[in-house]
Structure 1
Amino acid sequence: MCCFASNSFSQDLDEALRYIKVGNTYREVDEYNLSEYYLTKAINLITTKFPTQKYWEAAAYENLGLLYRDHEEQAEAQKYFTKALDIYQKANYVASVKAVQKLMSSADNKEEYYAGIDVGATGIKLSVLGAKLNPKTKKLEFKVTKKFKNANINMGVKNMSAYKEGAKAIKSFVIDSLVSFGIPSDRVIIAISSGLVGRIQADTTVLKDEIQAALGNPNQKIEVVDYIREAEMTIRGAIPQSLWYTSTVIDIGSGNTKGGYYVRGAKPGDSPKMLGIEFPGTKTYASSIEKKYDPKNLQEYVTAIDAETKDLTLQIRREFDERRPEMKRRKRVYLFGGASYVANMLMSPDSAKETVISMNRFVINNFKTKSVTDITALRNPDLTRIKDEAVRSYAEARIQEINNNIFPRDEDIISAAHLVYSFANEVTRGLGVKEIVFVNGTDTAWITGLIRASIEQQYGK
């Protein structure tokens, strides 16, 4: 008789679980009434016959909440999510508590905020990303809510003073994120860029210690991003998904130049694969040349960089031809990074407030030529031709920022011009006309992409 009772108990509980499964399946195919019928039947069976099976009771409430959320009955959705949450909290099911809290936010159509901090070679950047689940499409929607950068901290010099100053800035970004947006600490991502890793020769231990000490949290997770992941996250953070497989990305930063392209997975459903490149960045390239020639003699530096760039161009060509042939086959080339930004701002200041800016090889070649023949004129473009006063004022402020903060040294602008020239020409060489594009406001693109990837992983999307 004991055996019989035990088998009966098991069969009845299995039946209740089948009701949950069937109800959820009907929800997925928008059979509203059948879904509600089976989920309600599961709840009634569990609460009457199995009152101790609290986990499955909560699971049934959770699925019923999802049903009402999908049909935009927000009050009913919150009611059942609250029932599920109460059970999960009392039983200390930590993962389930977090999951239901996310669901409650999406049902209430509220954005959840995440912060990402990019620790770069010449500055620290903050991106705050809002995310919410669209109940109709069941897809995550993202919006950059806040961006901020401190470009005056040279972390690449590898000394304690710079590390302490950087850690202090990071702390202020973290506190601001927690207070202004109510972001929990586990939604704040701190990442050291590949450019900075190269500048400090891959030794990030001391820098991590300083950041953790400033935050008062020795367990604060700090991610170190390599150039392939950084290029991949730039694509995710700045390029529409519909263009991933027809585009090439080149990001010319101060510490390094990274880029590449996505290729589709071998089978449907497989994750895309990122194939990347890495070369010197603007300031790294300038510094390497200054070690060989007198940096006080600008003309000698110009002669040197012209010679060095011929060799660099051959290296880029071999990389593209032998290892990354798709770099030259894609229809659209995206140029990102400080060098590309400066090229656009100095050569086309009238487009300062535009989002997507088409570039051409003539402008890029002229940028390189002017950098070595008349850098004073290059630094001070004629703004009188800009009729819109707001655009003219904005461009004037951005150019002042370039001259005073971003590239105060002529050597760095010359280096930037040569790198933009080399990459843009090689990526479009011999294959007809391609679209070369710069996207304004993407200085936090890769850290935004990293936040997005983290959110999508949490949601299982």
Structure 2
Amino acid sequence: MKLLIRNLIPVLLLTCCTLCLHAQPVKNQSTAVVLKTANTLLQAKQYEPALDYFKKALQQAKNTKNIYQQAQAWEGLATLYSQTKQSTEALVAFQTAIKLYKGIGYNMIADLLNTQMKQFLGLGELYAGIEIGARGIKLTVIDVKPGNQISDFTLRMDTSINTDAAALSYQSEKETQDAIVLLYNIIKERFEIPMNRIHIVISSGLKQELDKYNKADYFAGIIRPKELDPKIRISYVNVDEEAALSFKGIVPQAFRLTANQLDVGSGNTKGGFQDGNRKFIPITFPIGTRSFQKLLESRLTGDISMFDYRKAAEKLITDSLGRMINYGLRDKTEFKSRDQIYISGGIVWCIASLMHPEKINELQVELSLQDILDFQNLACTDFETLANPELSKTMTPEDAAASKANIKRVLNTYDQKALLAGSVWLGELLRQINSINPDKKLLFPRYAYVGWISGYIMDKISKQYTDMAVK
């Protein structure tokens, strides 16, 4: 009985407060107090009394010709109508509040309300990101529908153009600039995205190469097309920033305190995790699949067999790079202990595509260390079988065709040596990461290739809204 009474107390208090509010003579209250009361009732989901108070506040604000308080009242009505699914009334209230706020120069509040109105109507805003990487230029277009999570977006387009920006030659600079022009025209002409929602970013792997010659700013300037809107800046991120953005763009919010993330790029490897305080802890290595291959081949002479190539790669791990990984993970017990890790990068895509072609439609492909070892063995001793996997007889003709096309893209992007070298590097990384928890689940999310650039865009949007709220 006592427990029942304790449970009823909050309900009785809320009822009493509501009755008391109704009993107060509104005409003796300031408009600000009436608005505060209305918003409190709205938060408590007491919609009928909240509606009365918003309407009374609106009338008082009209009587005193206070435009700001009129806008506040209409804003409250817009929220109330949207929560109670009154579409026509909500739309009128949103539009009126936006117009009033703009009329008195509160443009940032008006913009936020406009976004909320689009959310209510199921509309989004398009954003574009051009990623300039060491191996190519990538365009990502996302449709952002801010809801309870700022990371709620839909991928509208992704495409890439293979270039060799890391070569740092006149030819590679010209190819990079031409690719930016082509992708920029797609953004403007096909999607009509305004310049304030276009972001062009140099990846951390490419910046790492540019920094060796102190050329990051020079490169950003030399590849900038004259057609580009002068207000659009070509910026760059360092490896820790890209790691944090990849985590945000790849790991679902529900798993950010329990899962890890690792992206094995061409020029570097980066990832990390969130600790119990939601602080991101980056884990980075200055070696990626391509830089590992270049370092390996700089130590080789003459034409050697794939068997010797693999042995040389394993020796490079044993002699130096394995110790580098061990040192980087020495105090990352939490990272190594977790049950799940999201892995991405070109080599991970290759392994998923060639070892599990039947999973072409799965958004997340679960891999194992055995998959990686089997991949290495085939890349070394039976490349023909690796490059032509047997497609499952249970696959539909459409899925089989899609899988074949995907495999063709893999083989057009990476040759046998690149696949073998990349898998050796990935295998050692995961072997050491799994040293504490060997049963860790390895997940390859197919959307990961737009992970960090989408994370970059979402980070910019979040900062924009935070700045608006502060101002």
Tell me, what secondary structure is at the counterpart of 1:161? helix
TM-score scaled by length of structure 1: 0.86
In the alignment, which residue of structure 2 is the partner of 1:145? 155
Which of 39, 42, 56 in structure 2 is aligned with 1:41?
A: 56
Which of 315, 318, 336 in structure 1 is aligned with 2:324?
A: 315
| Inter-partner Cα distance in structure 1 for 2:222 and 2:423 | 35
- Correspondence 1:221 to 2:233: yes
| Inter-partner Cα distance in structure 1 for 2:223 and 2:73 | 44
Which of 100, 109, 112 in structure 1 is aligned with 2:113?
A: 100
In the alignment, which residue of structure 1 is the partner of 2:92? 79
* 2:207 maps to amino acid: V
- Correspondence 1:414 to 2:424: no
| Inter-partner Cα distance in structure 1 for 2:275 and 2:406 | 36
In the alignment, which residue of structure 1 is the partner of 2:340? 332
* Residue ranges of structure 2 left out of the alignment (5+ in a row): 1-26
| Inter-partner Cα distance in structure 1 for 2:234 and 2:242 | 15
In the alignment, which residue of structure 2 is the partner of 1:3? none
Deviation at 1:284, TM superposition (A): 1.2
Residues 325-351 of structure 1, C-alpha deviations (whole Å, 9 max, x = no match): 222101012210101111122222222
Per mean C-alpha deviation after superposition, the further-off stretch among 383-392 and 440-449 is 383-392
Contact 1:209-1:218 within 8 A present in 2 as well: no
Deviation at 1:421, TM superposition (A): 0.9
Deviation at 1:152, TM superposition (A): 1.2
- Correspondence 1:291 to 2:298: yes
Tell me, what secondary structure is at the counterpart of 2:317? helix
CA 216–432 in structure 1, closer or farther in 2 if over 3 Å, else same: closer
Which of 104, 115, 126 in structure 1 is aligned with 2:128?
A: 115
Deviation at 1:296, TM superposition (A): 4.9
- Correspondence 1:230 to 2:242: yes
Deviation at 1:176, TM superposition (A): 2.6
In the alignment, which residue of structure 2 is the partner of 1:342? 350
Contact 2:195-2:231 within 8 A present in 1 as well: no
* 1:142 maps to amino acid: D
In the alignment, which residue of structure 2 is the partner of 1:168? 178
Deviation at 1:252, TM superposition (A): 0.9
Deviation at 1:407, TM superposition (A): 0.8
Contact 1:255-1:284 within 8 A present in 2 as well: yes
Deviation at 1:283, TM superposition (A): 0.9
TM-score scaled by length of structure 2: 0.84
| Inter-partner Cα distance in structure 2 for 1:171 and 1:57 | 47
In the alignment, which residue of structure 2 is the partner of 1:278? 285
Contact 1:115-1:127 within 8 A present in 2 as well: yes
Tell me, what secondary structure is at the counterpart of 2:152? strand
Residues 153-211 of structure 1, C-alpha deviations (whole Å, 9 max, x = no match): 12221234323332333333334334434432212222221111112226321332245
Please, what is the CA RMSD of the aligned residues? 2.7
In the alignment, which residue of structure 2 is the partner of 1:6? none
- Correspondence 1:391 to 2:399: yes
Residues 245-299 of structure 1, C-alpha deviations (whole Å, 9 max, x = no match): 221211111121111111132xxxxx53233222411111111222232375455
Tell me, what secondary structure is at the counterpart of 1:72? coil
In the alignment, which residue of structure 2 is the partner of 1:439? 445
Tell me, what secondary structure is at the counterpart of 2:225? helix
In the alignment, which residue of structure 1 is the partner of 2:8? none
| Inter-partner Cα distance in structure 1 for 2:302 and 2:391 | 31
Deviation at 1:212, TM superposition (A): 4.3
Contact 2:38-2:53 within 8 A present in 1 as well: yes
How many residues are treated as equivalent by the alignment? Answer: 437
CA 216–25 in structure 1, closer or farther in 2 if over 3 Å, else same: same
Deviation at 1:64, TM superposition (A): 2.1
Contact 1:26-1:34 within 8 A present in 2 as well: yes
CA 441–108 in structure 1, closer or farther in 2 if over 3 Å, else same: closer
Tell me, what secondary structure is at the counterpart of 1:443? helix
Question: What pairs with 1:39-78 in structure 2 (closer than 5 Å)?
Answer: 39-49=54-64, 51=65, 53-78=66-91
In the alignment, which residue of structure 1 is the partner of 2:205? 195
Per mean C-alpha deviation after superposition, the further-off stretch among 292-301 and 121-130 is 292-301
Contact 2:133-2:203 within 8 A present in 1 as well: yes
Contact 2:180-2:225 within 8 A present in 1 as well: no
CA 61–212 in structure 1, closer or farther in 2 if over 3 Å, else same: farther
Deviation at 1:234, TM superposition (A): 2.2
| Inter-partner Cα distance in structure 2 for 1:439 and 1:139 | 20
Which of 20, 25, 36 in structure 2 is aligned with 1:21?
A: 36
Tell me, what secondary structure is at the counterpart of 2:153? strand
Deviation at 1:430, TM superposition (A): 4.4
| Inter-partner Cα distance in structure 2 for 1:185 and 1:19 | 41
Following superposition, which runs of at least 4 residues in structure 1 exceed 6 angstroms of deviation? none
* Residue ranges of structure 1 left out of the alignment (5+ in a row): 1-11, 266-270
Per mean C-alpha deviation after superposition, the further-off stretch among 327-336 and 311-320 is 311-320
| Inter-partner Cα distance in structure 2 for 1:347 and 1:396 | 13
In the alignment, which residue of structure 2 is the partner of 1:247? 259
CA 27–210 in structure 1, closer or farther in 2 if over 3 Å, else same: farther
In the alignment, which residue of structure 2 is the partner of 1:126? 139
**Percent of aligned positions that are identical:** 24
- Correspondence 1:208 to 2:214: no
| Inter-partner Cα distance in structure 2 for 1:301 and 1:288 | 12
Tell me, what secondary structure is at the counterpart of 2:399? helix
| Inter-partner Cα distance in structure 2 for 1:326 and 1:422 | 19
In the alignment, which residue of structure 2 is the partner of 1:423? 429
| Inter-partner Cα distance in structure 2 for 1:119 and 1:417 | 24
Tell me, what secondary structure is at the counterpart of 2:448? coil
Per mean C-alpha deviation after superposition, the further-off stretch among 448-457 and 354-363 is 448-457
Contact 1:195-1:255 within 8 A present in 2 as well: yes
